[in-house]
Chains A and B, each alone.
Chain A
Amino acid sequence: MTNELDIFVGNTTLIDEDVYRLWLDGYSVSDAVARRVRSGILEQTGATAAVLQSDTMDHYRTFHMLERLLHAPPKLLHQLIFQIPPSRQALLIERYYAFDEAFVREVLGKKLSKGTKKDLDDISTKTGITLKSCRRQFDNFKRVFKVVEEMRGSLVDNIQQHFLLSDRLSRDYAAIVFFANNRFETGKKKLQYLSFGDFAFCAELMIQNWTLGAVDSQVDDMDVDLDKEFLQDLKELKVLVADKDLLDLHKSLVCTALRGKLSVFSEMEANFKPPASGAEDRTPRIPAPQNLSRGLVNVAAKLIHNKDVRDLFVDLIEKFVEPCRSDHWPLNDVRLFLNQYSASVHSLDGFRHQTLWDRYMGTLRGCLLRLYHD
């Protein structure tokens, strides 16, 4: 006796959250059944394995049919075939578009192309996430990217409108799209300690301040591409380190303001400006005193090149986070320093690019504070 056919259709579509998670996680029916058995559900309900098998199959079938609609969530709302309460629809969508931290860290900043898709096997092996689940997550990224890539208006709003995601998840996707578009390097070893949340935070700040959308809300790609003109202008900031007087003045302003407030004052003072020579040479053992200011300004000046844009995070870590960390700056000192460092530029009479500096440093300060942790 074998079940040729076995179905259950409710007027209100039954959604089992646990099975949905198993399905999203890419388990096959038999794996899912095995996991459910292990969860002790049989003992709780007195059901048999056959019942569980049939139930799991049913849910998988339903999810399979829903998947087509989940690719365009507004369709899920307007379709007539599955009667699903709005709260459940939201749950289905939200979970479908949710992603694993481990996975997103692997593909963040990579081109969402066929090539990357081929690497999913390796990612799956590395992260322990099933290939199926990797594919779904990758396809989600790609789908969202394709839809909002060339769209007018706020990136987050566009994602929310076209994929009906929660505010939080929409922001995450905005970060993913932004990173994919600008191809920021996130995979280097020294960046490994950073979480997706760190990058997403930075992405949001950059979208708000450094993109075309920050100055003009009526352009295509406004939130996705960095403002080229702005990047061009950043070269002007070089004067802050090139002009010795300006640099000294800046340093003394910062030092005066912070004297007695920083626990690492001497390190800060030493690092602000390099001793006479060899600032760039570092011995591998002890990080040489690094010129924090020069580092930050140089990062700005280089952003005109695409390659340097990609390496933005690597540079920030190398030029700022690592030196500070090696001197054991507490986070609060970093905050005080960065605040004072950005603010005192306003008192530099010879410096003409105050607005530009604020646009650059405002964002960078936020990013650095977020990136500064163990």
Chain B
Amino acid sequence: MPGKLKVKIVAGRHLPVMDRASDLTDAFVEVKFGNTTFKTDVYLKSLNPQWNSEWFKFEVDDEDLQDEPLQITVLDHDTYSANDAIGKVYIDIDPLLYSEAATVISGWFPIYDTIHGIRGEINVIVKVDLFNDLNRFRQSSCGVKFFCTTSIPKCYRAVIIHGFVEELVVNEDPEYQWIDRIRTPRASNEARQRLISLMSGELQRKIGLKVLEMRGNAVVGYLQCFDLEGESGLVVRAIGTACTLDKLSSPAAFLPACNSPSKEMKEIPFNEDPNPNTHSSGPSTPLKNQTYSFSPSKSYSRQSSSSDTDLSLTPKTGMGSGSAGKEGGPFKALLRQQTQSALEQREFPFFTLTAFPPGFLVHVGGVVSARSVKLLDRIHNPDEPETRDAWWAEIRQEIKSHAKALGCHAVVGYSESTSICEEVCILSASGTAAVLNPRFLQDGTVEGCLEQRLEENLPVGCGFCHIPYDELNMPFPAHLTYCYNCRKQKVPDVLFTTIDLPTDAAVVGKGCLIQARLCRLKKKAQAEANATAISNLLPFMEYEVHTQLMNKLKLKGMNALFGLRIQITVGENMLMGLASATGVYLAALPTPGGIQIAGKTPNDGSYEQHISHMQKKINDTIAKNKELYEINPPEISEEVIGSPIPEPRQRSRLLRSQSESSDEVIELDLSHGKKDAFVLEIDDTDAMEDVHSLLTDVPPPSGFYSCNTEIMPGINNWTSEIQMFTSVRVIRLSSLNLTNQALNKNFNDLCENLLKSLYFKLRSMIPCCLCHVNFTVSLPEDELIQVTVTAVAITFDKNQALQTIKTHVEKSLQRASTDNEELLQFPLELCSDSLPPHPFPPAKEHLESASSNSGIPAAQRAVTVEKASPVAEGNFRNRSAPPCANSTVGVVKMTPLSFIPGAKITKYLGIINMFFIRETTSLREEGGVSGFLHAFIAEVFAMVRAHVAALGGNAVVSYIMKQCVFMENPNKNQAQCLINVSGDAVVFVRESDLEVISTQQPTANCQPLCTGGEVTT
């Protein structure tokens, strides 16, 4: 009996009227965990019941604690008929199971009903007492921490990165069980929500067990997905990276997230091929020891470990030394050997991380991907989901062998996805082949995560670009040159990856979002024939998508893609491809050549003219883009850039993998291409269309940037204003003009218009950057295309450099004059941001304070980096206390990024993983499909925020909407939507808090009323 779960139901508010006669409600609450149920008393005739119940205690296994959600049902008591359900709250108690996360869940939760949406709120307190259990054969994995964040979480340090963990569980979908015919939609939805909650719990527990087996204590980059396979069942699968993490104890050691890309913070991968300059001075171990030695006084070093650890660096740096020019080969071989030994025990040397501790990533080979088309069949034995496991194993094998072909032993930035239509399912996996530093992968090695101060004369940010494969034995034709940065190693002319831009990468100018969009019609077919048709189309899709990406990249004058994500979606009568990535200009890679258009009928005069016109337009666009993104690489005199005569493009860039089964797996050789100008033959309408689509992509309006990676290369002075949003669009295609071109155009317009709308909506935030722009396409019906975008807009300051100095001075003055005790007397007023004070103070007070209102609210002030001081800690404690019942709702930030600009994450409270279903039978009354979905997404956000707030947090990072399945039947006035979201609940502290408290408090207090007063007319 290893755990006691305690629940107290405090009160409800804003309940719906359940009794028409009295306009009131007689509410009571059922609290259910596993098979045990408790009930509160009925609180008669109130819409704001105060139950204040006793503590309901559940004595349960920790296995159940992990699997089961706590289920709270609010009902209206009815003497004569059955009690009416008002709604439910599911609470995942997992965050209470590990020591460092939340200790109590307490707060107001929206009461949710799958038919009516949110209906009031309920105040609940949940606690868990865990007993130590030393049973070796236990089935639970309490204590393993889960993070959605795909990098090492900010207040932790990676001791060892163990590697890939995966698991899947299957079950019958309650929606397709026979019983569904006789139960209400509500009962069916609830059964589904509960089942998925249960399955996620089970999945997480099983993954946790694997992590414990590997002697890890955490899963980073945890990605859990649902496959709604319809008749054949429901699959919940997850992948992640097992790690051993250490909590950083000193708050001063946190890296301020907002600054990570800035120059000052650049860290060098210390195991990277060393500087030719230092090397030319012969064996230089002592010198290098100095170079790498620690300076513990520096505030930005992540840990204050003693310099003992430096000793262990000596052999490695020594190993690197040799004759400068030729060292690549032997060095690489050595490294490979080491890595191999570290990785060979692993079945799949995959990592779901996209950002890495410094020094972890040695070389990047390129993108590897594999797809496979499968026919779904009923899963007969849910306890042995062998087929699904086998499918994924097969794909992972492919990925592994592709990586090997690129001379790499590992795959980073790895992810898996599916697209299902009827009984056909496309499984996809992709990642970036890479060579890793074995130091992080083994037990008993030195402490990880060392950081060095950037030495001025060390070349940085090119190591990962150097090719990992053998120059003489290249897996595909590629044009190699010497690295433009260090001039010692070979680099490809373009580099595609699925990871984030390494923080130390040398980049020229800014980056931008690049998308390739593609539709292909497909005949409607059944089963086997359908699968074959899709299999046949896939390679062409991949090829086209890749060509588009390459063209657009060149058009932007850039040479590398990061965060590449290619989604292929299957529908009844078409396939859609959508690739998103962030283009950048890597200083280490050669300048991309232009795009040349060539026609096949050179004799036709007007045609020639047309072509030269197009050519001019393209050249202009390239020049304009270079200016827009500030791409001015240093001129390299001794290099002859580009041969004058472009060669025709090679049509054989696709390497089919050798599997001759019904499914097809494709490897993309993504680091191909000529260094020279890229030639487009516009001998057919298709290509013509390509060129047009190239030119129709409009750049974002001035002041806007966008990327799909965590951070925007070239921007580092983020201010603290963030706005996360989800936008959904569905278009109906007129079935008349269904040609590939028309489809492509429609799809292209859809995406472009959506982006334009976003820019317009967020115009007040200029200058700003849309980060982590995540597009998903689905084909809910024959003629419908649905695009869902989630991203975060972050403002940045163009002229922060100056202000930083100024505010630093100001701040130090302020701090000197601030009395700590005084601060703590006003715990509720501490911050307008995370716990806003009551916005409507009594009138008289307002008048008084209004007179003292002098200018800018603190929150808008420039944010500067600041070390956490004991005062800040004190504030934080005050504020993280659960908001008291009658205060206004605390602000919870949400962001798909792993950090919050201008703030420090001080605590991870646990994973948020929620699944909701919403259904309506009165679609028109709820404002049509837009009204319905708008309300539902707002409700989902609200429920996520409420859960985070109840855990004591004030933000969700690495937030992702993994699924948004929308189905409508306007004729029946019905619609249904399923949404699955996840993220990490955290506590963050603003770096500017001290300012807020010391100087701006009265202002913050009266601010709302001041504005309010002005608008009266």
Contact = CB atoms under 8 A, between A and B. Distances in A.
B732 A78 contact: no
B655 to A, nearest CB: 37
B729 A61 contact: no
B836 A167 contact: no
B1015 A10 contact: no
B727 A91 contact: no
A167 B846 contact: yes
Contacts of A89: 839, 1008
Contact of B734 (A1, A64, A85): A1
Interface string A79-95: 11111011101110111
B865 interface: no
Contact of A87 (B726, B786, B1008): B1008
A11 B893 contact: yes
Interface string A87-115: 10111011100100100000000000000
A47 B760 contact: yes
B755 to A, nearest CB: 10
A8 B14 contact: no
Contact of B1008 (A54, A79, A90): A90
A11 B724 contact: yes
A81 B110 contact: yes
Contact of B941 (A2, A83, A91, A94): A83
Nearest to B846: A167
Given A80-B942, A90-B1011, A61 B934 contact: yes
B245 to A, nearest CB: 28
Contacts of B840: 90, 160, 164
B1016 A168 contact: yes
Interface in A113-150: none
Interface in A54-69: 54-55, 57-58, 61-62, 64-65
Given A5-B930, A81-B118, A81-B942, A14 B1007 contact: no
Contact of A90 (B934, B935, B1009): B1009
Contact of B761 (A55, A77, A83, A86): A55
A286 interface: no
Contact of B727 (A9, A51, A65, A170): A9
A279 B1016 CA distance: 45
Interface in B642-694: none
A48 interface: yes
A78 B750 CA distance: 37
B757 interface: yes
Interface string B746-760: 100110010011111
A85 B746 CA distance: 38
A82 B1017 CA distance: 26
A13 B729 CA distance: 18
A51 B1008 contact: no
Interface stretch (B307-315, B372-380, B884-892, B992-1000): B884-892
Contact of B1016 (A4, A11, A166): A166
Interface size class of A (residues with CB under 8 A): 35 or more
Nearest to B939: A81
Q: Classify chain B's interface size.
A: 35 or more
Contacts of A61: 927, 930-931, 934
A86 B725 contact: no
Interface in B932-952: 933-935, 937-939, 941-942, 945-946
Contacts of B924: none
Contacts of A47: 756, 759-760
B108 interface: yes
A77 B749 CA distance: 40
Contacts of B934: 7, 9, 58, 61-62, 65
B891 A83 contact: yes
A266 B942 CA distance: 74
A45 B1012 CA distance: 28
Contacts of A98: 1015-1017
Interface in A1-37: 1-14
B760 A10 contact: no
A186 B781 CA distance: 62
Given A8-B725, A11-B724, A50-B753, A90 B839 contact: yes
Contact of B888 (A86, A87, A93, A95): A86
B118 A9 contact: no
B757 A54 contact: yes
A348 interface: no
A178 to B, nearest CB: 18
A277 B13 CA distance: 71
Contacts of A57: 930
A4 B38 CA distance: 45
Interface in B730-750: 730-734, 746, 749-750
A167 B1013 contact: yes
B96 interface: no
A71 B935 CA distance: 18
A304 interface: no
Contacts of B933: 5, 7
A166 B832 CA distance: 19
B935 A65 contact: yes
Contact of B732 (A1, A9, A168): A1
A80 B733 CA distance: 37
Contacts of B839: 77, 86-87, 89-90, 164
A156 B881 CA distance: 35
Contact of A78 (B888, B893, B939): B888
Contacts of B837: 86
B843 interface: yes
Nearest to A164: B840
Nearest to B733: A1
B832 A83 contact: no
A78 B889 contact: yes
Chain A CB count within 10 A is highest, among B108, B726, B733, for: B726
A169 interface: yes
Interface in B974-1017: 1007-1009, 1011-1013, 1015-1017
Contacts of B730: 3-6
Nearest to B788: A7
A55 B1015 contact: no
A284 interface: no
Contacts of A228: none
Contacts of A58: 761, 934
Given A55-B760, A65-B934, A78-B889, A12 B732 contact: no
Contacts of A54: 757
A64 B763 contact: no
Interface in B715-730: 723-730
A321 B733 CA distance: 71
A81 to B, nearest CB: 5
A10 B765 CA distance: 13
A52 B753 CA distance: 11
Given A1-B746, A5-B933, A91 B938 contact: no
Among A54, A93, A168, residue most surrounded by chain B Cβ atoms (within 10 Å): A54
Interface in B884-925: 888-889, 891-894
B34 interface: no
A7 B728 contact: yes
Contacts of A1: 731-734, 746, 749-750
Closest 7 CB pairs of A and B: A86-B839, A90-B1008, A5-B730, A90-B1012, A10-B725, A4-B730, A94-B1012
Interface of A: 1-14, 45-48, 50-52, 54-55, 57-58, 61-62, 64-65, 75, 77-83, 85-87, 89-91, 93-95, 98, 101, 156-157, 160, 164-170, 172
15 contacts: A2-B731, A4-B731, A5-B728, A7-B727, A8-B758, A11-B894, A58-B934, A64-B927, A65-B938, A80-B945, A87-B839, A90-B839, A98-B1017, A167-B1013, A168-B1013
Given A5-B730, A91-B1012, 15 more contacts: A1-B731, A6-B728, A6-B729, A6-B930, A9-B726, A52-B760, A58-B761, A58-B934, A78-B888, A79-B14, A79-B889, A83-B891, A86-B837, A87-B1007, A87-B1008
